[in-house]
């Protein structure tokens, strides 16, 4: 199968998020050359600007950068957790990629989120409802996509928890009673419940103990191999990027400074900042 320019799953163009009241110079007066996200003329903050990339089906894209780089902002914008300032994003399975999903109504955005995307947050409290059981959290996702058959829902929840190695006996327990690693695995189950073509993972192992981190990363790798989901993996940790991704975007002060194949970014980084990051590996 040859790839042509139309085979993308997700296309993002000039995605921009600015806090405050920007003027016409705001974007050009901020960025990696200025080592700043703050516009000197208006004090507005450029969280990210002019972010453009394609994601193909089954590909895993890493977004790496330090605090303030804008990497989480990109993902939050694409998952509709915040409103864009500018730019557009098209998802092939939605209207055959002909409509900018970031400009759609809230109702349509909910549809896209529930049916075509999954998100795993760094903090399980952002992705799970701690008032529901773990099974209930998965059920919530399935119900929001229009599945109302209780037997099927429980069966699916059970399958997913098995897949993510959460003991099925704990299906009726609340996540508050789980360890951090298990909470993450429940989040992952919930995120893939509807077999979305696209999964976002935002710093999902940051803050976990190393052994727990390892288990979660292994799970993600396996799921990716078995299900072939396209993923966007945000991390400040290059080892996570190395383990999971095919391609990588390096961000600094809200801009992309370099993008390429992950092994190229790690072994032959071109931009000064990429070189600094790579050489900073412990």
Partner 1 sequence: MNILEVNNLSKDFNLHILNDKWIEALKNINFTMKEGEIIGLTGKSGSGKSSLMKCLYRTYLASSGEIIYLSKNGPVDLVKADDHRIIDLRKSEITYCSQFLSVIPRVSAVDVVCEHLFRVEKDKDFARSQAKEMLEQLGLPYELWDAFPVTFSGGEQQRINVARSIIAKPRFLLIDEPTASLDAKTKDVVVDMILQLKANGTSVLCISHDEYTLERLCDRRIDLKFGEIISEELATNQ
CA distance 139 to 198: 19
List b or e across 30-63, with b for residues whose CB sees 16 or more CB atoms inside 10 angstroms.
Answer: bbbeeebbbbeeeebbbbbbbbebbbeeebbbbb
**Structure-token pair, residue 267:** 């072994």
3-class secondary-structure state, position 68: coil
Nearer to partner 1, 145 or 278 (CB): 278
The distance of closest approach from Cβ of residue 189 to partner 1 in the complex, given in angstroms and rounded to an integer, is: 20
The distance of closest approach from Cβ of residue 47 to partner 1 in the complex, given in angstroms and rounded to an integer, is: 25
Nearer to partner 1, 1 or 169 (CB): 1
Judge whether 36 and 30 are in contact, CB under 8 Å.
yes
CA distance 213 to 181: 7
All residues at 6 or more sequence positions from 93 whose CB lies less than 8 Å from its CB, including other chains: 9, 116, 197
The distance of closest approach from Cβ of residue 116 to partner 1 in the complex, given in angstroms and rounded to an integer, is: 20
Nearer to partner 1, 50 or 54 (CB): 54
- Chain residues binding partner 1 by CB under 8 A are 1-3, 7, 54, 56, 59, 214, 218, 221, 225, 243, 246-247, 259-261, 263-264, 267-268, 270-272, 275-276, 279
The distance of closest approach from Cβ of residue 280 to partner 1 in the complex, given in angstroms and rounded to an integer, is: 10
The distance of closest approach from Cβ of residue 138 to partner 1 in the complex, given in angstroms and rounded to an integer, is: 25
The distance of closest approach from Cβ of residue 12 to partner 1 in the complex, given in angstroms and rounded to an integer, is: 14
Measuring CA to CA, which residue among 52, 116, 1 is closest to residue 63?
52
Q: Which residue stretches of the chain are H helix?
A: 71-78, 106-116, 124-127, 134-144, 150-163, 180-192, 210-227, 238-244, 262-267, 272-279
Nearer to partner 1, 209 or 218 (CB): 218
Nearer to partner 1, 176 or 261 (CB): 261
The distance of closest approach from Cβ of residue 144 to partner 1 in the complex, given in angstroms and rounded to an integer, is: 31
Entry field: residues in the chain: 282
Which own/partner contact pairs does 37-40 have at CB distance under 8 Å and 24+ positions apart? 37/68, 37/70, 37/253, 37/254
Measuring CA to CA, which residue among 128, 212, 134 is closest to residue 167?
134
Nearer to partner 1, 22 or 269 (CB): 269
**Structure-token pair, residue 133:** 């059981």
Nearer to partner 1, 201 or 216 (CB): 216
């Amino acid at each position: 199968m040859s790839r042509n320019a139309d085979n993308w799953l997700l296309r993002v163009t000039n995605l921009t998020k600015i806090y405050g009241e920007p003027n016409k110079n705001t974007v050009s007066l901020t960025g990696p050359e200025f080592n700043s996200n703050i516009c000197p003329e208006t004090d507005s903050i450029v969280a990210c600007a002019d972010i453009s990339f394609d994601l193909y089906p089954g590909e895993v894209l890493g977004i790496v950068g330090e605090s303030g780089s804008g990497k989480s902002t990109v993902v939050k914008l694409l998952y509709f957790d915040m409103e864009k300032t500018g730019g557009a994003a098209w998802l092939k399975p939605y209207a055959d990629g002909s409509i900018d999903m970031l400009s759609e109504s809230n109702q349509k955005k909910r549809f896209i989120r529930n049916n075509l995307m999954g998100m795993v947050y760094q903090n399980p409290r952002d992705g799970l409802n701690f008032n529901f059981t773990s099974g209930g959290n998965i059920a919530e996702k399935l119900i929001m996509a229009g599945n109302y058959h209780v037997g099927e829902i429980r069966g699916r929840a059970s399958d997913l928890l098995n897949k993510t190695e959460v003991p099925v006996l704990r299906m009726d327990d609340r996540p508050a009673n789980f360890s951090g690693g298990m909470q993450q695995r429940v989040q992952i189950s919930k995120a893939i419940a509807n077999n979305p073509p696209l999964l976002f993972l935002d710093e999902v192992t940051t803050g976990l103990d190393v052994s727990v981190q390892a288990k979660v990363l292994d799970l993600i790798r396996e799921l990716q191999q078995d299900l072939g989901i396209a993923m966007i993996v945000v991390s400040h940790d290059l080892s996570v990027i190395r383990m999971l991704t095919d391609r990588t975007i390096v961000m600094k002060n809200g801009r992309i400074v370099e993008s390429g194949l992950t092994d190229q970014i790690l072994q032959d980084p071109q931009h000064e900042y990429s070189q600094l990051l790579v050489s900073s590996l412990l």
